[in-house]
Amino acid sequence: MRQKIVAGNWKMHKTLEESQALITEIRGLVRDEYRGQGKVVIAPTFLSLPSAVRLVEGTEISISAQNAHYEDHGAFTGEISVPMLKSIGVQYAIIGHSERRQYFGETNTVLAAKAKSVIRHGLTVMFCVGETLEQRESKQYFRVIEEQVSQGLFGLDRKEFSHVVIAYEPVWAIGTGLTASPEQAQEIHAYIRKLVAAQYTAEIADQTSILYGGSVKPENATSIFMQPDIDGGLIGGAALKARDFIDIVKAMR
Ligand code: PGA
């Protein structure tokens, strides 16, 4: 059975103190209100990770980094490696978010190395793919998604691939208030699953969690998560409000 996941990507928001307050609030709401079997993941900034891990100890919530370097250590000023994340109890890492691709020039080749490192150290990678508005309008989106998935992930062997979660996040829907319709998202999710089946096996494809991201809110979460190939969401803006986030978590059944 593939796992349902709702993950909150806090991006560059919240000081240490604010992060602790928000995690504490989310933790209480998950405990009191969420009865499903899905997984809840929170990705605060690097600075807040150690305290976030401590705050969710003994709960159903896991903590994710938003990025990681592909080398274990070395002269890479300002970077954080996967063994460092692992040493404090981080279990997931988001790799390939469109903001990393767009503003920090991360290519499929770099992202493939990052994904490999995350998995080599026993963490789960949440690997993001998604087309820009221009690519959608010029009907290149299938090709773009195929390239991102295959170049980013298909260097992994079958065993490694079992630690991959894919997030489809159309760039035109991130932080814009525009959401892909449930049908548009389902179309791409089914396509990604087909690519995984062709590269690995139908069984592996069936076990792979594929999340949707891009302006998911409490109002649209249920209709998106109801789609057969959508296994939850990667949430940006709405993850910064405990009430909205828990309502999205509750839409995961
Ligand atoms: P959004 O961001 O929910 O604010 O659109 C999603 C993301 O970037 O992961």
Provide the residue range defining the domain that includes 111.
5-249
What is the full per-residue pLDDT of the chain (253 aa) written as tens digits?
A: 799 999 999 999 999 999 999 999 999 999 999 988 899 999 999 999 999 999 999 999 999 999 999 999 999 999 999 999 999 999 999 999 999 999 999 999 999 999 999 999 999 999 999 999 999 999 999 999 999 999 999 999 999 999 999 999 999 998 888 888 999 999 999 999 999 999 999 999 999 999 999 999 999 999 999 999 999 999 999 999 999 999 999 999 8
252 and 36 Cβ atoms separated by less than 8 Å: yes
Is 169 an active-site residue?
yes
For the CA of 128, the nearest atom of ligand 1: 9
* Domain count within the chain: 1
Residue-level pLDDT at 200: 98
41 and 7 Cβ atoms separated by less than 8 Å: yes
Structure tokens at 132: 């820009």
For the CA of 239, the nearest atom of ligand 1: 3
Residues in the chain: 253
For the CA of 174, the nearest atom of ligand 1: 5
CA distances in angstroms from 143 to 98, 190, 194, listed in the order given? 16, 14, 13
We report the CATH number of the domain holding residue 191 as 3.20.20.70
Is 97 an active-site residue?
yes
Integer distance in angstroms from the first to the last C-alpha of the chain? 13
Q: Which residues line ligand 1 (CB under 6 A)?
A: 9, 169, 174-175, 213-216, 234-238
Predicted structure pTM score: 0.97
Nearest CA to ligand 1 atom 6: 236
| Cα 233 from Cα 215, distance rounded (Å) | 10
